[in-house]
Structures are given as structure tokens and as C-alpha cells.
Structure 1
């Protein structure tokens, strides 16, 4: 991007380094993400006599270590026991450690033909933590780049001091925007940090969405190349005067109003209607849920499959309870996940039993695909018990944080979840 390498040379660096790692280093090492400052991590590594080293420093409390698998596992176990965020990264090699020295000569030979050149775009290197002439991006640089610690946090601070306030992570999946925001917050600087593509979203739509995210955070964008061509960039106006006379038919009261078919409005974004049964005293809530009508649900996915969150079941059941004056959830059991496929809708029902002397009601939540055949069974997703009596808390929340509480580091949480398949 800076212009220091041709596209061919850049591809050579990526492909041949990856091949050397796969053929020589794979199976020898391990890496782990740790939620501590680099200085505290270094103190812990002294006990491992060089078998574990700091691979990258991405933020104030975002560090990755690499080294021998047993030593890395021992460090992760020790830190986890102290309630420090520490988790293995899903790789079987140790970049930025002494193990990389095994492929030094191979990389120098494989990348000997790379011909870097000076660029007019300033290149800030995470190897040197400063501006570097791109004419130096030869085979030796790309070996050092893989062997030494990645000084990402330091480089980010240099950029901040240089007045940079917009950070675009151009990659197949953003993992460093959180580190940028963490460093900027520590420096007392407000920045815009956005990605370009995402895992499973590599098309123009995702790229334009990322461009829009940058735009709403103050980044000037020339949209003319993305919008349909118009004469002089203008949208033509109607050919008749604005006489405030409309030429479409007014909607009549009908099926769009649930009251018109004998139902009651549920008064909730996830419920469409409710109805009280005449003789049994039961109450039925109905809904139609899809990613088209509830697009924010797409933010809760596991391995690419969107699931209705457990918190949504809690919210839906509690709203039904409020409807009949039972505002406390005594018990909730989840039986099966509710999957939401793209461009498909599901019908959802909640059935609440009639009231009894104990002022407790049980509810069940079922669903089935929209337009399902009559014989297709409903799937039970949850059962619950509602009551008007709050449960005893068992703890005192009058002082916050409670006495003896230990803060839990959350930096890098979403990055770790993505590795496990939780795309929140």
C-alpha cells in the first residue's frame, strides 16, 4: 500500500514465509494471548529461561507470547489460576521467538529476489517503531519482521504523536482495531479505528459498509465512484409542480392492524401480538422473527450461524410476565437453539398457563419455519416459571464495587471469542 513493494514481491513475501512456517516450524510451538502490560509479562517469562518470549505488544494490556508448547501451556495455566485473561491462540508454531531462527537462511534465500524501492508514502515499521525507508524492505527485513517482537503499541503511539487520528485495518479480518483504541485511550486521544473486510464477508458490500463506518466517524469519503452515475451528479426532480396532491391509494384499515383480527398489540419489538384465551385463562404471544425485520440479531453468531441469544428469551418471557403482573423470572430452561437463517423467517409462540392460587405461571416458547406445512412439528426452545415475588439476592449491592472485588481485564475479549467461533 505504501508503494515499497510490487504486488508480486508482496505476494512472494506472504506465500514463501507461510510455506517455510508450515514446512519447518509447524508443530513445534505455541502462542497465547495475555491481558497484562508487557512489563508484567516479561517478569513472568524469566522463569522459563528463554523458552517463552513476547511475540507482539498490541496495546496497553494486550500481549501475545510464543515459544515451546509445554512452557506456554504452563504460563497460561498459572495466569488463569490468578484470574488473568490468558488463552492459547489457535496455531501450532511460535512466530517472533527463537524458533524462527530455524528458517533464517531459507527466508534469506527464498526472498533474495525481492526488490524494494523508496516510497512517497511514509512507512511506519512495527519492527523499528518508527518511519522506515521502504527501500530497506529486503529479505533480511522480512526475516527480522518474523523473528523479533512486533512493536505495534509503540508504533501506534508514534503515529498518534504525529497527529494521526484515523486507523484503517486493511485485512481479511480486523484484529488490531481494539489495540489501537486501547493505546489511544491511554494517551488521551480520540481516534477512529475501523476495519475493511471481515471473516466470511469479503465482498463489495462489506467494504462499502466499512467505508460508511469511517464516514460517520468524520472521515471524508468521495462517494461518487460508488454511486450510480448522474448528469452533473444531480438527481432529477419530478416534472410536475409540488402541488401536495398524491397519486397513490391511501391504505385502508385492515390486516396490518392486529386489533382488526381480534388480537392485542404486544407492545414489544420481539412480540407481534397477544391474546387471552376465553375459557382456559391461558395467554398466547405470537411473533414473526427474521434477520430482515430484526437485523441486529445478526450480531450474535456462532461459527457463522445466527442464534437468538439466551438474553432474548429472558426478555421475551419477562415481557409476557409483565403483561399479567408477574414481573419476576423464577426459572428458565433452554432446550434447543433457535436458528435464524438469512432471508428466512420463523413463527414464534409463547404460551402461558392460567393463574393459580400460588400466583405462579409456567410458560413455554416454541417456533417453526414460516409457511411450514401444517404437519410440521413445533420446536420447543424454552420453558420458564414466572412469579410476582422477587428472589432473595443473597448479596449486598449497596456498595460498588463490592469489598474484595477483583477487576477482570476485558481487552481482547472479542478477539478471543472470534477465535472460538463466537462472532459477537
Structure 2
């Protein structure tokens, strides 16, 4: 169908977000009941028009809900469930308590799946345009086509190749970040895990697309030289406990990443990892071998030092207003320092992800959005925040973007709705254009214990002009 504005739901199909808010939970449920009954009698009314009026013609209160519905029957049923305080897959509810700028988090490898980009490529213009930009940027550095890879076209290389999966993930993460930005979600800070830092640097404005494409394609190509020499594994243990486990094998395995208080990744020699797996089995410790045959974030990377400095020479990092919290140091760094040497250290050093999340929290950030085709870091972020926030009971939000086998606009809108209902600046307005003719006279706000009816000729437009409307 024709799309309404940047990446907005189209009038001719696809899910739309119906945004509700109220001053109390009871009023929110009453609102949903009225809207459900009202919509039930108007099967011919285009849902995008209803969505647009709800999003633009109403004040924003703290008790919030979004119904992500694909068609009238689902909208009516989901609103009725919300009214009756029953769970429904299409309903997202929350209390707007978080006003801090969001942190966009970009993971390393592991979130990929075969058709991760296909649905949004076909339905979301912002996503498709961003992928197209990456496709063109990669062409200078690769002998394969990004679009062929993402669409699994015959003859295209597979995501089992490190020099394909890393650029493909970069492209999908960057394009998802562009979708978040189209919905009004602007990062106050970024965190990237391992190769995710390349996407983070580009979205923060520190690396041009050409420079970021150069780093992600040529660095992953260089990693192929390490194939068959090592491996990596993750353990459900604190880093200090893992250090003790590794002590009998000095130098052969090291800590590659600290993802959370009880989530640690190790890397090193394959034979030493085999022995570690046997030790863990004996001690009943959970260990999972990561399906790679090289050891990033270990001494193995040192043989790439000269190559990386040569092939990445000439990149020009820029200053940016967006906070860049480095997982190489665990602290904010000046983005002008993200030159060739940084991208070597990023591959060689331990990923201090847990520390970076703590730093973000200590700097006042409360909304963490993992920008990926499947959430792989949200559990680690949750664990870290639980430990950092401690007994303060202060609210925070951790959410992902897409999920494995849920790669379309419904999942994306649901994730945006989670940020909106928690109080984050997220714009769920299906922006009007020629295809979205405008306001609908909706049932009025469900004021508790008193009635206030708009005169029938005013409509939502005048109510908004009179001050009843509110920004997101």
C-alpha cells in the first residue's frame, strides 16, 4: 500500500498504533471500552485515520496504552481486553515515569537470523532506504551484494561467514536505528558491544557511513585469517568466578566480554576451551560454545594489528553531541578518538559491556533500547540495572526491537509502544499526507465522575487548538 509519511502505517493494510492515555487506570479502561464499542459500529472507518486522531488530538496523561492492531476485528477485541483488564498480544500498557533520553544499544554477533530484514524491506520505507544506503556503501569494499544476502538469493554467501554476517548485522542495526529515529526516538547516548560499536559510532554521528562500512567490511574480512585457530564460549557466572576457573590455564583462554553480573564470555585456544567445557560439566557449570572458530578479544587478535592499521587507514572520526559510552573503557570517550587504533583495540580488548551500562545508569539514563533483529543483551542489561538500582525501586525500561521470526512492522511498533507507554519521547503519529485525510470525531475523554461533552461541531481539531491536545 501507499505509506503515510516516513515509515508510517499505510491506509491499505499493515498494523496501526491506537494510542490512549488517562489520568487513572480506571479512566484508561473506560476509554478503551468506549472506543471498542464505538469502533465496533464503524467497520468501514479507516483505522489509520482513527490512529492519527488519537495520536494528535488528545492530551497525554501518565496512564498509557497502545493497541497495535491490524484491522477492525483485532482493534475491537484488543480494546475490549484492555477495558476488561485482560492480557492481549496487541496491547501494551505502561505508566509514564521515565523522561530521560534513551540509550540505543547495539550488540555484536549472535542476533542474526535468516530472513531478519525481509519483512521490513518490503513494508517500511525508512528501513528499506537505509538498507539501500548500506548496500551502496558496502559495494566499494565487498564482492557480494548486501541485498542478495538479506534476501537469501541463489549464489549469495551465507550468514555463516564472519565477513558477511558482521556487515549484514551492521546494516540491519543501523536501519533499525533509523526507524527508531523516524518514530522520534533520538539517542542521548549509544553503547555498542564489540562490532556493535561500529554501528553505534555511525548512529552517534562519529563515523560517516563510508567510514563505518569500511571498518565493518574490511575488519571482518581480516578476521577470516584467524579461522580455525580458536573459539569462544559463554558462561552463566560472574567474571571473578570465571577468572578462578581460568587460572589453571594461564594465557590460553581469557575473558572476552563481561555482559552482566552473571554473564561472561571467554575466548582463546580451541583445545583449552574443550578442556574448560569438561571442567564445567564436572562442576555442573553452564557453559555454551559460541558457533565461531576464531577468538576475538584475545591475544589471537594481535596478529591482525598491522593489517588492521593498514586497511583502515584514512578513516576520519568526528565530534558528536551524542554520548558515546565505550565498551573498550567502560566510560564515555571523545568520538574524535575513534580512529584506526580504536577499532583494533575494540577487537583485541575485553568488552566491558556491564561497566558501560552501569556508567549510563549512573549518568541518569533509564531507557535502554537494544537495536537488533533479536535481543541478545537485554537480559544482561536487566541484571546489571537490577544490581545497580538496588533497593531504590527506581523505574527503568529495557526493551528490544525485533525478535527471531518476528521481523515486521507489528513487532517494531510494539517495541516503540513500550518506550511511549513508559514515558519516553516516541512519536506514534501516523503522519498525515494526501493518503491520510485527517481527524475523526472520536468518543470523548472518559472523565471520572463527571461528564464533559464537546459540542458536536467542534471535533478533535478544535479541541486540540483549544489546548486539549498535548505533545508526546
| Counterpart-to-counterpart distance in 1, 2:345 and 2:301 | 9
Partner deviation per Cα, 1:93-136 (whole Å, 9 max, x = no partner): 11100001111111111111211111011111001111111111
Paired position in structure 1 for 2:204: 2
Pick the aligned partner of 1:156 from 328, 351, 357: 357
Structure with larger RCO (C-alpha < 8 A, sep 6+): 2
Gaps of 5+ in 1: 243-424
1:184-263 to structure 2, matched below 5 A, reads 184-187=385-388, 188=390, 190-225=395-430, 234-236=439-441
SS at the partner of 1:66?
strand
1:214-363 to structure 2, matched below 5 A, reads 214-225=419-430, 234-236=439-441
- Residue 183, structure 1, aligned to residue 183, structure 2: no
Partner deviation per Cα, 1:227-279 (whole Å, 9 max, x = no partner): 77756x632469xx99xxxxxxxxxxxxxxxxxxxxxxxxxxxxxxxxxxxxx
Structure 1 stretch 3-12 or stretch 198-207: which is displaced more?
Answer: 198-207
Normalised by the length of structure 1, the TM-score is: 0.53
Paired position in structure 1 for 2:247: 46
Alpha-carbon contact 1:73-1:88 (below 8 Å) kept: no
CA deviation after TM superposition for structure 1 residue 78, in Å: 0.9
SS at the partner of 1:96?
coil
| Counterpart-to-counterpart distance in 2, 1:222 and 1:237 | 20
CA deviation after TM superposition for structure 1 residue 45, in Å: 1.3
Paired position in structure 1 for 2:227: 26
Aligned length: 238
CA deviation after TM superposition for structure 1 residue 13, in Å: 1.3
CA deviation after TM superposition for structure 1 residue 218, in Å: 3.2
SS at the partner of 1:126?
coil
SS at the partner of 1:32?
strand
After TM superposition, where is structure 1 displaced by more than 6 Å over at least 4 residues in a row? Answer: none
CA deviation after TM superposition for structure 1 residue 196, in Å: 1.7
Paired position in structure 1 for 2:218: 16
Q: 1:138 to 1:202 in 2, by over 3 A?
A: farther
| Counterpart-to-counterpart distance in 1, 2:431 and 2:291 | 37
Normalised by the length of structure 2, the TM-score is: 0.48
Q: 1:227 to 1:26 in 2, by over 3 A?
A: farther
What RMSD in Å do the two structures reach over aligned CA positions? Answer: 2.2
Gaps of 5+ in 2: 1-202, 444-454, 457-472
More helix by share: 2
Alpha-carbon contact 1:181-1:193 (below 8 Å) kept: yes
CA deviation after TM superposition for structure 1 residue 25, in Å: 1.0
Pick the aligned partner of 1:131 from 306, 327, 332: 332
